[in-house]
Structure 1
Amino acid sequence: MRVAVIGFGAWGRCHARALAGLPGVVLAGILAHGDASAAAAAAEFPGVPVHRDLAGLLASGVEAVDIVAPNHLHEPVALAALAAGKHVLVEKPLALTAEGCARIAAAARAAGRCVSVTHELRVSSQWGLIRREIAAGAIGTPLAGVYTLFRRPFRGGAAGWRHDPARVGSWILEEPVHFFDLLLWYFDGHGNPVSLRAQANGADGLTANLAVTARYASGAFFTVSQILTGFEHHCTLDIGGSAGALRAWWSAAEARTTEPVAGLSLQRGAAPPETQGFTRSGEIFELIEHLRGSIAGFRAGTSPLPAEEASRAVLMCLAAEESCRTGRDVALAFPPR
């Protein structure tokens, strides 16, 4: 399949490298927005056309695009690509609004093309194993979960887009969207959460420190917290179930390392906790697997994580933003899946 990458910042470069290494995939184009990134793309991938405008890239014979541009561009670029008959890989968040998510989902259906959103933690050897253990009943029914990210402050990104609310949307949409997707997946047996409440430090959506608790009609709940005033990159997850519990962790000097300190312990009933084995864990490895699975899905006319599913995490983020503004609980409503 001929795939083009749209955006060639630090993470776009990782996407391009991953695609170039996949069997059966041709990196058929790169859209670079600036002179420096265009030069860097041409230097690293000689022979791959480097485009400066979206229309030219979409007319170049590619079959799919991989959108790794600033958040505010995800929706318009995805809509243009779908209108041109391309399959779409798109980084999270799918869009900055609920309406934007719905427009992308509708456009994919109208075009008969697939959208796959890069929530790569689902294919992780570590975080994916947790889902399989929960589904197998290893800890009974999950009742309570806490996911915590403690990390250094965000870099600004190209032209400072990550520090601009109009382009990033919010810092809740920037990274906690991953963790909402993960916890919704783990707690899927309870249906959809019915409400949430959030508290944060920061203004204009740039919430440096955040805690969000989502509640289910069953009484189950989970909390996602983020500390952006920390250092390095450290994640922990704790889940208590009706017949056991688990704890997972991932720590490194920075998120894109290939050598983290990571682990998973699981207690079945009253038995001593067991250390669970898994292969390499980290976003570089997970990105490769997500791209591999998405392109295989495109060939079969399916998506491992379509727009309808990815929109749930966006809706959680938007509700958390509202709760931060109002200081109140926010009722949740999700479209049919």
Structure 2
Amino acid sequence: MNIGLLGYGGWGKIHAASIAALKTHRLTAIACRTEESADQARKDHPEASVTTDMDSVIRMPELDAIDIVLPTSLHVPAAVKALEAGKHVLLEKPMAGSLSECDRLIAAEKAAMRKGGGILSLVHEMRSSAQWSSIKDLVSDGKIGALRYAMLNLFRFPYRGGSGGWRYKPEAVGSWVLEEPIHFIDLLLWYFESHGNPVAVTAWAAFSAEGMTRDFSAVFEFPGGAYGVISQTLSGFEHHQVVEVAGESGAVRSLWSGAMDRTDKPVFSVTAQTKGETAPKNIPIEGPSGELFEIREYLNAAFNAMTEGRALYPADKERELVRLCLEAERSARLGLRIEL
């Protein structure tokens, strides 16, 4: 497929490099928000048409799909235009900052599909990770028994501001729970898939000067008494992630550490004590681990899925994920356990 990219900030550049490296899909056009970033994009990707006119890229007849890597507040307007133009849309998480905006986008996708138009899919690259999917494999294969508990923790440096400081503007970013904890809540739902949807959430937070969740913890309760803990602090340094999952007959613990989230030299491991074993063992992971590597695999899989007429991560699934994130933040702000 021919791909048009909207956005050339920090993650936009990573998307561009990832698409350019794919064998069966092509980076055909890039729309930048500033002339400065457009000049950089032309140097980085002379094979692509580069402009600051996003609408003109959306209208390009030779494009099959639009990859949107913009601030959250711009997701829905850009995606709706792309769908109306008959393009497939790959959209960075979150789909939107509110459920009403999610519904607007889902309606636009349904209208486009009735006309034989595009598919809307979301980006959740951690599902492409050999490291994090190895935990899912252990769970799915019954190696640790029925899940009872999980803890996903991230200790990291404060968020970057993004272009124009948008990540620190509530009207642009919407919610910091939708920035990074959304990934870990998605992993939790993936691991606990056989349990069904969570039934309640209780959360706590310390808020930044902008009113955002600087430090955040949430406990999601699942049917049958199982539960998972999501915890993140933006008051730390570097980027250190821990995932622990325990079942009735085994457990797994995984670590990922780097100087930053985009490092190409992380330290990572997966250790498990599975059913019938008396000691833990290291689980070998093929290849590198980290979002910098996983995004390429995910984009390739997402574009391949579009050629097959399906969404790798459908919009209705993303809407439910956004709802859980927003309910967790509401719990923290109100100091209440919220039934889901």
Where does residue 176 of structure 1 map in the other structure? 181
Q: Per-residue displacement from partner, 1:43-87 (whole Å, max 9, x unpaired)?
A: 211242112222211111211011100111111111111111111
The code of the aligned residue for 2:160 comes to R
Where does residue 186 of structure 1 map in the other structure? 191
Instruction: Give the Cα–Cα distance (whole angstroms) in 2 for the partners of residues 84 and 315 of structure 1.
Output: 28
Q: Per-residue displacement from partner, 1:17-60 (whole Å, max 9, x unpaired)?
A: 11011012121111101121111111211242112222211111
Where does residue 31 of structure 1 map in the other structure? 31
- Per the TM alignment, residue 308 of structure 1 is displaced from its structure 2 partner at its CA by 1.3
Where does residue 291 of structure 1 map in the other structure? 299
Structure 1 gaps, min length 5? 333-337
Where does residue 123 of structure 1 map in the other structure? 128
1:258-269 matches, within 5 Å, as 258-269=264-275
Instruction: Give the Cα–Cα distance (whole angstroms) in 2 for the partners of residues 133 and 108 of structure 1.
Output: 35
Where does residue 206 of structure 2 map in the other structure? 201
- Per the TM alignment, residue 205 of structure 1 is displaced from its structure 2 partner at its CA by 4.6
Where does residue 255 of structure 1 map in the other structure? 261
Instruction: Give the Cα–Cα distance (whole angstroms) in 1 for the partners of residues 276 and 60 of structure 2.
Output: 60
Give 3-state SS (helix, strand or coil) of 1:147's partner: strand
Contact 1:178–1:313 (Cα < 8 Å) also in 2:
no
Q: Per-residue displacement from partner, 1:193-241 (whole Å, max 9, x unpaired)?
A: 0110110000555111110001112111101000100000000011110
The code of the aligned residue for 1:185 comes to W
Q: Per-residue displacement from partner, 1:238-287 (whole Å, max 9, x unpaired)?
A: 11101111101100101111221100111113521111011211101110
TM-score by length of 1: 0.96
Between stretches 8-17 and 205-214, larger displacement belongs to 205-214
Matched, 1:5 2:13: no
Identity of aligned residues (%): 40
Instruction: Give the Cα–Cα distance (whole angstroms) in 1 for the partners of residues 43 and 192 of structure 2.
Output: 45
- Per the TM alignment, residue 302 of structure 1 is displaced from its structure 2 partner at its CA by 0.9
Instruction: Give the Cα–Cα distance (whole angstroms) in 2 for the partners of residues 57 and 285 of structure 1.
Output: 27
Where does residue 231 of structure 2 map in the other structure? 225
TM-score by length of 2: 0.95
Q: How many residues align?
A: 332
Matched, 1:276 2:277: no
- Seen in structure 2, the aligned counterparts of structure 1 residues 43 and 104 have a Cα distance that, compared at 3 Å, is same
Contact 1:6–1:69 (Cα < 8 Å) also in 2:
yes
Give 3-state SS (helix, strand or coil) of 1:172's partner: coil
1:4-153 matches, within 5 Å, as 4-61=4-61, 62-112=63-113, 113-153=118-158
The code of the aligned residue for 1:301 comes to G
- Partner residue of 1:238 out of 219, 244, 247: 244
Instruction: Give the Cα–Cα distance (whole angstroms) in 2 for the partners of residues 35 and 206 of structure 1.
Output: 31
Instruction: Give the Cα–Cα distance (whole angstroms) in 2 for the partners of residues 99 and 136 of structure 1.
Output: 38
Structure 2 gaps, min length 5? none
Instruction: Give the Cα–Cα distance (whole angstroms) in 2 for the partners of residues 75 and 257 of structure 1.
Output: 30
The code of the aligned residue for 1:18 comes to S
Instruction: Give the Cα–Cα distance (whole angstroms) in 1 for the partners of residues 67 and 249 of structure 2.
Output: 42
Between stretches 228-237 and 200-209, larger displacement belongs to 200-209
Contact 2:32–2:54 (Cα < 8 Å) also in 1:
no
Where does residue 335 of structure 1 map in the other structure? none
- Per the TM alignment, residue 171 of structure 1 is displaced from its structure 2 partner at its CA by 1.0
- Partner residue of 1:302 out of 299, 310, 313: 310
1:324-335 matches, within 5 Å, as 324-332=332-340
Instruction: Give the Cα–Cα distance (whole angstroms) in 2 for the partners of residues 256 and 326 of structure 1.
Output: 34
